[in-house]
Structure 1
């Protein structure tokens, strides 16, 4: 069982809408929405070997800020709860978390400290977005273009030993400004691809009740020295780009770097050059 199927078992308790997106949403009743997201990271499963404490702190903040970015929101606040096996790790870890939060306009405003058998981190972030710009995974429509920011696969290449992309893996950059621009341009749906492009497409397909027809000739494949660039592009996790759908008519208004990789179709599923794409990516399993 993976985390997605486990989540399915509690949807009836929490609600479909509350479990369908990167963030929860609260209507402030003044034309704005407060979005919130929380993430848990463990040393043995989430932090690649060789990371500094600063990098672990940065990554912990970045994963939550990326969720906020995927809604088109401006990050404002971050809470950090840290379970420590060694208290001397806290200061450099928090230096990384605070640095990341400040870089993207948020403030670390509290959290919790506890002892634990391994470094375990829970980050909770909050952001604000105009109600008319709020983006969800649902909303993609047949005929929309499928687009991506950044280059999927660079983090996986680094994990496989390509030092050129070490920063992509260890100090990833949440696409906060791009997310706001994409939302303002009128994107119909958006989410981050930190779990991998393929599995993110399937998640969006399920949420929007549509499918995606990709064209490999349009892929901005990573320059890799080993392994398969296409494999990394579709299935590698750890990249903090944004997957979004937008109508062809609205695309000229988008002032951000992006790559069009396909189009939205009416039938649920994901295809590339007419062939089914395997549903695969990062997931916690039991």
Structure 2
């Protein structure tokens, strides 16, 4: 069983809408939405070996801020709860978390400190977005174009030893400005691809009740020294680009870099060049 299957077992308790997205939304009285998201990271499963404490702090903040960015929201606050095996690690760790938050205009505003057998971090973020510009995973419609920002696979290449992309892996930058521009251009759905492009496509397909047809001729494949660029592109995790769907007529209003990789179809599933794409990516397993 993985974390997605486990989530399915509690959807009836929380709600389909509430479990369809990485962020929760709360309507404010002034026409805006307060979005929130939370993530848990463990040293043994989530931090590549050799990371500094600063980089671990940065990554811990980035995973949550990226989810907020994928709603088209402006992050405003981050809470950081840290379980420590060694209290001396706290200051450099928090320096990284604060630096990441400040880089996107947010503030670390509190949290918790506890003892633990390994470094364990829970980050909870909050953002604000106009109701008319809030993007979710659930809005993709047949005929929309499937697009991404960034180049999937660079973080995986770094994990496999390609030092050119070390920053992509260890200090990923949440795509806040791009997310806001995509939302204002009237994208129908959006999410980040930190778990990998293929599994993110399946997550969005499930949430929106649609399918995706990809054309590999349009892939902006990574320049890698070894391994399969296509494998990294589809299945490598750790990249913080955005996956979004948008009506073709709205694309001309989008003022950010992007790549069109496919189209939305009514039949559920994900295909590339006519063949099914394997549902695979980063997941926690039991």
Q: TM-score category by the smaller chain? A: over 0.9
Match of 2:240 in 1: 240
Structure 1: gaps spanning 5 or more residues: none
What are the Cα deviations for residues 2-31 of structure 1, in whole angstroms up to 9, with x where unaligned? Answer: 000001111111111111101000000211
Match of 2:260 in 1: 260
Match of 1:222 in 2: 222
Match of 2:195 in 1: 195
When the two structures are aligned, how many residues end up with a matched partner? 286
Structure 2 counterpart SS, 1:249: helix
Match of 1:179 in 2: 179
Q: Does residue 1:55 correspond to 2:55, yes or no?
A: yes
What are the Cα deviations for residues 224-274 of structure 1, in whole angstroms up to 9, with x where unaligned? Answer: 000000000000000000000001100000000000001001100000001
Structure 2 CA distance, aligned partners of 1:108 and 1:139? Answer: 31
Structure 2 CA distance, aligned partners of 1:38 and 1:256? Answer: 27
Match of 2:105 in 1: 105
Match of 1:90 in 2: 90
Structure 2 CA distance, aligned partners of 1:130 and 1:119? Answer: 36
Match of 1:120 in 2: 120
Runs of at least 4 residues of structure 1 off by over 6 A?
none
Q: Does residue 1:141 correspond to 2:141, yes or no?
A: yes
Structure 2 CA distance, aligned partners of 1:263 and 1:29? Answer: 36
Match of 1:210 in 2: 210
Match of 1:34 in 2: 34
Structure 2 CA distance, aligned partners of 1:260 and 1:18? Answer: 29
Structure 2 CA distance, aligned partners of 1:120 and 1:285? Answer: 17
Structure 2 counterpart SS, 1:142: coil
| TM-score for the superposition, normalised by structure 1 | 1.00
Structure 2 CA distance, aligned partners of 1:146 and 1:13? Answer: 32
Match of 2:269 in 1: 269
What are the Cα deviations for residues 47-93 of structure 1, in whole angstroms up to 9, with x where unaligned? Answer: 00000000000000000000000000000000000000000000000
| TM-score for the superposition, normalised by structure 2 | 1.00
Structure 2: gaps spanning 5 or more residues: none
Structure 2 CA distance, aligned partners of 1:223 and 1:144? Answer: 28
Structure 1 CA distance, aligned partners of 2:18 and 2:143? Answer: 27
Structure 1 counterpart SS, 2:122: strand
